[in-house]
Structure 1
Amino acid sequence: MAADVQWWARLAREVRAAGRGDLPVETPLRSVRDALGFDCAALVSGSRQRTTTVNLGYPADMLGYLTTTYRWKCPIHRRAARLGLPLRFVDVPDVHQTRTYREGIQPYGFREGVTLPLAPGAGPERSFVALSSTHDRPLDDGSVLALTMLSHDLAALADPGAEPGDPAADVVLFVSPGKVEVRSALPARLPLNEREARLAARCATAERTGFRHRDADGGWWRVLARARRPDGVLLRISRVPEPGPLTGRELDVVGLVARGWSNERISAALGIAVRTVRSHVESALVKLDCANRTALARHALEHDLDTLAALEAAHR
C-alpha cells in the first residue's frame, strides 16, 4: 500500500515529536504499520541490555525471536544492517530456505515484511524496525525510499528525549499538570508511581536533574528530569546497579549533606534521630573513603548520589 506525500509529511512530524518525547513512541510506529498495510510492527533498540522498545501485534514467541536469533544470527537482518537499507522479504533470494522463514515467518502466517535498520549504529547493534504482514504484497519502492530517508529520525524513537552523555533510558515518562504519560517503557511495572513521578518532576527540575530511586521491588533506577515546554517535564529513567555500599537511608542522608544541611536539619526533615543521622554520615564517610563532610558532599554531587526522599525533604 502506498501513502501520499501529505501523509509522509505528517508522519515525519510525528516521528520527530516522538523522538523529542512529546508523543508516545508507539504513535508514529502505529501510523507506519496501519497506513502501509502491515499487521505487526516492533521497534527493537540497539543495545544488548535493552531489547524491545515497542511491540504492536507480534506474538510473544515471535518477538523473542526478533530480539535474539533474528537480530544476531539471521542473514536477512545482518545484510540489512550491513547495508543500512530497508530489506523486504521479496528482495531476499531463497528466503523460504532460511531459518527465519521456518521459525519466525511461516509459523505465524506472515508472508511479507520489512527490516528497517536505523541510523546511527552499525551491524546488529543498530536499532531496527520490523514490519510483517499476512498478505504477500511487498512494500512499494517509493515507501521503501521514504522510510530510508526517515531512518535517522526514527532512530531517536529507541531512546526519546536523549541528550549527549545520557545513559539509555528504560522508561520515559512525560509529566504535565493533567496527567503522567508513558512515552517509552520496557519494564512490566513502572519504577515510579504517579505521585512519585509528579514529585520528581516538580523537585528535580527546580534543583538538580539527576537522582537515584529504589522502586517497590527493590530495584534501583537513575532518574533524569528535563523540562519540556512551560507545562511539562520529561523523566528519563534508567536501571542501575545498587548504589555501591550505601543503604537507601544513607543515600537519603548523603543527598541532604550534599546540600550543606546540618545533622539537626536532616534529622527534622527525615524524621529520624540526630544520632542516627550522625551514624549514617560516619558510615558513608568510611564506605566512600571521604575524609570529611565537604569531600562527601563533593563525591555525592559528582556521582549523582541523591534520592527522591532527599528531594522531597528539600522542597517540603
Structure 2
Amino acid sequence: MTPDMTWWVRLADSVRAAGRGEAPLDEPVRMVRDGLGFDCATLVGPQRATNGEAQPVLVNLDYPGDAIRFISTTYAVECPAHRYITEHRVAGRFIDLPYDFRSSRTYREALKPNGFHEGLTLPLGVLRHGTPRPGFLALSSTHGRPLSDDSLLALTMLASEIASLTDPRATLPPAPADLVVWVGRGRLDVRVGDLAEGPFTARDTIRIGDLHQRTGAALGFRHREGSRGWWHVTTAPTGDGVLIRVQQAEGDDHLTPRELDVVGLLSRGWTNDEIAAALGISVRTTRTHVESALMKVGVPNRTALTREALLRDLDSLDAIRCVAQASRTSLPA
C-alpha cells in the first residue's frame, strides 16, 4: 500500500503536533497503522537505565497482551531481527532480514499464534554499546504483503520526527522526562509515564497548570517528594493548555526544600522581611537560609545567587505559589 504525497504531509503534521504535546500520541500511530495497511501498531519508548529489561509501551493499538509484553521485552532485548534493524537505522520488513524470520523465536511465540504474517519495525534511535536501548515503532499485519519500497523509504525519513513521540516536549531538554502531562480546561492527559509514579497528584498537577496560566510564563523549578528524592519540573504553553514535564534530578548543591523556597523568592527581588511573611517563618530564620544558600551555591552575594538561580532553575512550587498569591497583595511579584 502506497499513500500519496498529501497523506505523507498530513502524517508529518500529525507527528509534529503530537510531538509538541498538542495531540494524543495515538493519533499519528493510528494514522500510520491504518494508512499503511497494518492491523496492529505499538510505540515503544527508549529504555531507561533504571527500568530493568522492559521498555515502556507508550501506545498499543490492538496487539494482544501476550504479544505486546513479548515485543517490549524479549523482542527488544534478545531478537536478532530487532538488533539488525536497529543497528542499520532503517525501517525493516520481514523480507529485509538476512535469514528466514519464520525460524525466529519472535515469530513462533508472538506473531504466528496471533495470525501475523508480515510486519515492520522502525528504530527511533541509535543502538550503541553501553547505552539504553532506543525506542521503536512496531507494526504487524494478518496479510502477507510487505510494505512498498517507497513507503519504507518515506517512513524511514520520518523516523527522527516520530522519535519525538517517545518524549513530547516544547523545548529540547538535556534528558528525557519521566512524566509528561498535558493540562487544560480543568483536565489532564498523561502523554508519557505514569502519574502515580510521579511526585504530584492529579489535583496538584492541574494546579501547576493553573499557576503557569496565572503567572503568565513558563515555570522551571525543583521539588522534593518525601523519600523519592528530587524532581525537576518545567512547563510550556501548548495548544490550548500547558505541557508539564517532570524528571528525576539530583538535589542541586544540597539545598533543603525550604532553602529552595527562599532562593526562589530572593531571585525575584523579595526582601528578607517579605520572604519571612510569605513563608510564615521568622526574619532571622530567613537570613540563616540565605546565608546557607550562598555558601552551598558558592556565590558571594544575593545578586550572584539570583543569577545562579535563574540559570539553574533554583526555584520551588511554594515560591511560585507565593508569587501568584502576591499578585493580589502589596508584595512584589
TM band (smaller chain): 0.7 to 0.9
Q: Is the 8 A contact 2:186 2:206 kept in 1?
A: no
How far off its partner does 1:24 sit?
1.8
Give the aligned partner of residue 199 of structure 1. Answer: 210
Q: Tell me which amino acid in the other structure corresponds to 1:196.
A: R
Query: Bigger CA drift: 44-53 or 163-172?
Result: 44-53
Give the drift of 1:60. 5.7
Show CA shifts across 1:147-195 (max 9, x none).
223223212222223534543223333344x244436211252544343
* CA shift in 2, pair 1:239/1:73, >3 Å: same
Q: How far, CA to CA, are the matches of 1:47 and 1:303 in structure 2?
A: 27
Q: Is 2:259 the partner of 1:240?
A: no
1:44 is aligned with what amino acid? V
Kindly provide the amino acid, as one letter, of the partner of residue 174 in structure 1: W
TM-score (norm 2): 0.77
Q: What per-residue deviation string (whole Å, max 9, x for no partner) do you get for residues 70-95 of structure 1?
A: 33443212221222221122433221
Structure 1 unaligned spans of 5+? none
Query: Which residue of the partner structure matches residue 87 of structure 1?
Result: 92
Q: Does 1:130 align with 2:138?
A: yes
Distance 1:3 1:267, change over 3 A: same
Distance of aligned partners of 1:160 and 1:276 in 2 relative to their CA distance in 1, 3 Å threshold:
same
Preserved contact between residue 263 and residue 314 of structure 2 (Cα < 8 Å): yes
**Per-residue CA shift, 1:19-78, capped at 9, x if unaligned?**
222212221112222443434322233453484361214456654544454334432122
Q: Which residue of 2 aligns with 1:21?
A: 21
User: What is the root-mean-square deviation in Å for CA atoms of aligned residues?
Assistant: 3.3
The structure 2 residue matched to 1:115, chosen from 118, 121, 128, is: 121
CA offset at residue 271 of structure 1? 2.3
**Secondary structure of the corresponding residue to residue 254 of structure 2:** coil
User: How many pairs were matched up?
Assistant: 312
- Tell me the equivalent position of 1:171: 179
Match for residue 182 of structure 1 among 176, 186, 189:
189
Mapped partners of 1:304, 1:242: distance in 2:
12
Contact (CA 8 Å) 1:53, 1:184: kept in 2 or not? no
Pick one of 40, 44, 54 that aligns with 2:58.
54
Matches within 5 A, 1:1-316: 3=3, 5-46=5-46, 48-49=48-49, 51-52=55-56, 54-56=58-60, 57-58=62-63, 62-92=67-97, 93-106=99-112, 110-118=116-124, 121=126, 125-176=133-184, 178-182=185-189, 184-189=191-196, 191-192=199-200, 193=202, 194-202=205-213, 205-206=216-217, 209-215=219-225, 218-228=228-238, 231-316=240-325
SS in 1 for 2:42: strand
Q: What displacement does 1:265 show?
A: 0.7
Structure 1 residues 34 and 198, CA, compared in 2 at 3 Å: closer, same or farther?
A: same
How far is 1:14 from its partner? 0.9
Preserved CA contact (<8 Å) 1:170 1:184: no
Look up the equivalent residue of 2:122 and give its one-letter code. Answer: L
CA change 1:204–1:84 in 2 (3 A) is: farther
Quick check: 1:3–1:143 contact (8 Å CA) kept in 2? Answer: yes
Give the conservation status (yes or no) of the 8 Å contact 2:182–2:191.
no
Residues 221, 58 of structure 1: alpha-carbon distance in 2 compared, 3 angstrom cutoff: farther
- Percent pairwise identity: 46
Equivalent residue letter for 1:9: V
Taking structure 1 as the reference length, what is the TM-score of the superposition?
Answer: 0.81
2:89 is matched by which residue type in structure 1? G
CA distance in 2, matches of 1:197, 1:209: 9
| Structure 1 residues 282 and 27: CA distance shift in structure 2, 3 A | same
For 1:114, give the aligned amino acid.
Answer: L
Structure 2 residues not aligned, in runs of 5+: 326-333
- Specify whether residues 59 and 204 from structure 1 end up closer, same or farther in structure 2 by C-alpha distance, changes over 3 A only: farther
